[in-house]
Structure 1
Amino acid sequence: MNLTRPKLWTKDFIIVFSVNFFLTFVFYLLVVMIAVYAVEVYHASASQAGLVTGIFIIGALIGRLFIGRLIDTIGRKRMLYIGLGFFTLTTCLYFAELGLPFLLFTRLIHGIALGIASTATGTIVAQIIPPARRGEGIGYYSMSSTLATAVGPFIGLFLSQHTSFQIIFSFCVATGILSLITALFLYVPPLKVPTESSAQTGFKLSSFVEPKALPIAFITLIGAFCYSSVLSFINFYAIEIGLVNAASFFFIVYAAAVLVSRPFTGPIMDTRGANFVMYPAFIILGAGMVLLSSASHGVTFLIAGALIGLGFGNIQSITQAIAVKLTPPHRMGLATSTFFIFLDAGLGFGPYLLGLIIPLTGYSTLYIIMGIMAVGTTVLYYFLHGKKEKAETASMNASGSV
């Protein structure tokens, strides 16, 4: 047994963690106020305001789809600089009040920039994390996004209540510049890319996504689809059941549960295999959804938030670690972009699809359905990855005991 564990919290890991936090922070800060901005400044309708918010996700999907095949050709660090520079420049476009179509264009290309930059950070962090601590490392890295989901909306709402839209956009530009300056101090080790990988030509599926990561990415899609019901409709549900005050703390409790669990779940994956985290996570997510469906008190409502955080928060980080683990180093960029494409698709298109059935089910029944779906995903996970993971973990433990 090796008593000296490779260092995880290196300078470069902290830099990538910070840059990803800044990116996600700006995204969530703008999410909570951009629809209001569209209505107040451009007199947008409710559906137009919703499009202003959602078209960003479409942009991110476009960015991720094309960066995967280019990142190792252009270079991971160079691609990060391109993404961060583009992200900062497109943030400046919010100052130009040129009509609603231009705002939609700005949101689209801003989303593309985020897709490029965040896929680059996810690829780089997978490269610099020691392989023996990959599950733990990606778990800690994904905490940067979790923190941003709690801090971003809070700061966004605070600024929108106490200052002007122009000040908010200036703050976002300053954050983008800070992320770019921070990234200048990052060192990314050179990567040896097999000659045959750089010679790919033509339109192939494997040029845009990593086939080996598709099964686990599909699991991510289902988990994100379930969670999108919370992300998009929790406030409407809270109003319906009279728990608006508790709803304001829901995502803070969610983030706290994720942060508390991360020091444990990542190392468990590295030492005992992903199944020891994934199966309980599906069940906990399902339990959180069912509890949410029957919540009648603030405490119950927030406990449901904690369970959903423990469930989906760990599903998200562990599936990302699995996607990276399944692919060779020179395909990490594609594996990372594949993971995020499916994650964004679940979060972005889920609300639209679920919105079609809410008039038929109501919110309470919807969360019961999502809970059943979450628990049922354990079966699909077993056939797509869990069975293979079990065999590999058993083999690794047997070889380690010799």
Structure 2
Amino acid sequence: MSVQDVPVRPATARPPILTRAYVTMGVLSFGGMASCYLLMSTLPLYAARHGGGGFGAGLTTGAMMLTTLLLEPLTPRMASRYGYRPTLAAGLLLMGLPSLLPLAADALPAASALPVVLLACALRGAGLGILVVAGTALTAETVAPERRGEALGLYGVAVGVPALACLPLGLWVAEHVGFGVLFVAAAVVALVPLAAVGGLPAVRRVTASGTVTPEDTTGTDGAGADGAAGRRTARRGGLLGA
């Protein structure tokens, strides 16, 4: 057999990573984590300066971590029952709206200000638990299995940049501009991405080959028999299980 007779395999196109759902998830996660890190160091500082002292500062972190841990195991069930869009929208709302609660603490006596700040931290922790679990799971499901490692790596960058930038930025804004501006900014960066929630898949579907994939994001939300079957499968299987 000559060299000319050797068959040449045609190059196959690699499945894309930057799908509509993947990019949308990155935008939502970036906004949610930016809000999280803007106040992660500044809410304890705010509590300490408003009558809580070191003990109050520690309570703010504890309240946030407690609700984060409580919501993480519940998030797959929420996403399977209600869909990706309402679940992640709830995570962003819980991260954004409570950021404004400390503004009310300025008008309260010191004894009443700390509970308001703790409530804000607890609600934001619940939002963090939802965003971390649902965001990672949905990101993995929006790309082909052979490119999942690359997709999760890029997603890690999207949620890691806010940690590097927003932790020091939050402290700088609090010291040089004021806590009020910081609280409003933390609310805005979490709530603005809500406009993009429609780009997410609604539920999971199981294809004929048994592969679990997100439902189409064209906005039909699974109309028809296939969509109904997808919703039933999602409710039975959960977000992470088959």
* 1:234-291 deviations in Å (ceiling 9; x for gaps): xxxxxxxxxxxxxxxxxxxxxxxxxxxxxxxxxxxxxxxxxxxxxxxxxxxxxxxxxx
CA distance in 2, matches of 1:26, 1:76: 20
Quote the Cα distance in structure 2 between the aligned partners of 1:156 and 1:165. 9
Residue number in structure 1 paired with 2:195: 181
TM-score of the superposition, structure 2-length normalised? Answer: 0.75
Supply the distance in 2 between the matched residues of 1:18 and 1:196 (Cα, whole angstroms).
27
5+ residue gaps, structure 1, are 200-329, 336-402
Pairing partner for 1:71 from 63, 76, 79 = 79
Distance 1:3 1:34, change over 3 A: same
1:160 corresponds to: 174
Pick closer, same or farther for the CA change 1:191–1:166 going to 2, 3 Å.
same
> Secondary structure, in 3 states, of the residue corresponding to 1:80?
helix
Any conservation in 1 of the 2:47–2:114 contact (CA below 8 Å)?
Answer: yes
- How far apart in 1 are the matches of 2:193 and 2:179? 21
SS in 1 for 2:156: helix
Contact 1:82 1:117 in 2 (8 A): no
Partner of 1:123 in structure 2? 137
Of all paired residues, the percent bearing the same amino acid is 23
Contact 2:137–2:240 (CA under 8 A) maintained in structure 1:
yes
Equivalent of 1:22 in 31, 49, 54? 31
TM norm structure 1: 0.47
Q: Secondary structure at the match of 2:205?
A: coil
Q: Please give the secondary structure, in 1, of the residue aligned with 2:14.
A: coil
Residue 118 of structure 2 corresponds to which residue in structure 1? Answer: 104
Query: Residues 307-327 of structure 1, C-alpha deviation per residue, up to 9 Å, x if partnerless?
Result: xxxxxxxxxxxxxxxxxxxxx
* The structure with more helix, counted as a fraction of residues: 1
Cα shift at 1:187:
4.3
Determine if the alignment matches structure 1 residue 32 to structure 2 residue 41. yes
Letter in 1 for 2:68: A
- Measured in 2, the distance between the counterparts of 1:89 and 1:29 equals 14
Residue 145 of structure 1, aligned match among 152, 155, 159 = 159
Equivalent residue pairs, number:
204
Find the counterpart in structure 2 of residue 280 from structure 1. none
Letter aligned with residue 150 of structure 1: L
SS of the equivalent of 1:6 reads coil
**Structure 1 residue aligned with 2:56:** 48
**What displacement does 1:9 show?**
1.6
Aligned partner of 1:276 in structure 2 is none
Partner of 1:256: none
Q: Is the 8 Å Cα contact of residues 102 and 116 (structure 2) preserved in structure 1?
A: no
The residue aligned with 1:12 is: 21
Separation of aligned partners in 2, 1:181 and 1:81: 10
RMSD: 2.5
Task: Give, in angstroms, the shift of residue 6 of structure 1.
Answer: 0.5
Is 1:92 the counterpart of 2:96 in the alignment? no
Contact 1:23 1:118 in 2 (8 A): no
Q: Distance in 2 between matches of 1:39 and 1:169?
A: 16
CA drift of 1:82 comes to 2.3
Find the counterpart in structure 2 of residue 170 from structure 1. Answer: 184
Return the alpha-carbon distance in structure 2 between the equivalents of residues 54 and 93 of structure 1: 18
CA distance in 2, matches of 1:12, 1:126: 11
Summarize the alignment of residues 228-243 of structure 1 with structure 2, pairs less than 5 Å apart.
none
Q: Judging changes above 3 Å, is the alpha-carbon distance between structure 1 residues 195 and 172 closer, same or farther for their aligned structure 2 residues?
A: closer
Consecutive unaligned residues in structure 2, runs of 5 or more: 1-8, 106-111, 207-229
- Residues 205-245 of structure 1, C-alpha deviation per residue, up to 9 Å, x if partnerless? xxxxxxxxxxxxxxxxxxxxxxxxxxxxxxxxxxxxxxxxx
Return the alpha-carbon distance in structure 1 between the equivalents of residues 166 and 241 of structure 2. 28
Q: 1:58 touches 1:111 (CA, 8 Å); kept in 2?
A: yes
Report the secondary structure of 1:36's partner residue.
helix
